[in-house]
Amino acid sequence: MVDRREYERMVDRFRRLVAPLPAWQVEQHDGRPVLVDDARGGGGLLLHLDSRWNAHLTRYFGALDKDRLLALVALLEVVPPEGPAHRAAVAFLKSLRLDDEPESSAAGRSRPGAAARRR
């Protein structure tokens, strides 16, 4: 069983994974699907969906954009602390393996100069 504080840390790790992602959309360029940066208006190319998985990747990136991922984070934040929804949320967050990264190294990257102060 995961206590509420640990659960909140897991949700926060997921939020930090999602937050820096660019907004994207799937477009067709020369008849092939590409992922483009939606925030720039000009649609800078992020990724060619160029493999045998094109159809699956196109549907995935078309259905699950940054806003929907952030909505998932918000949903995870309000899951009641007990019951089947909480157990499912914990299982999902654990499956992301975001706790494999030590907190201290994650904190060190987010604060410039933190590594120098630890030496």
Beta-carbon contacts of 36 under 8 Å, excluding residues fewer than 6 positions away, are: 24, 25, 26, 27, 43, 44, 45, 46
Closest CA to 63 of 35, 41, 94, 40: 35
Closest CA to 43 of 52, 51, 34: 34
Q: Do 42 and 60 share a domain, yes or no?
A: yes
- Return d(Cα 88, Cα 107) in angstroms, integer: 27
Structurally, the chain folds into a number of domains equal to: 2
pLDDT tens for the chain, residues 1 to 119: 789 999 999 999 999 999 999 888 888 888 888 888 886 566 688 888 877 777 888 888 889 989 999 999 999 999 998 899 999 999 999 999 886 655 544 444 443 433 333 33
Task: Give a yes or no: residue 69 inside a domain.
Answer: no
pLDDT at residue 111 in the model = 38
Stated pTM of the model:
0.71
Task: Give a yes or no: residue 101 inside a domain.
Answer: yes
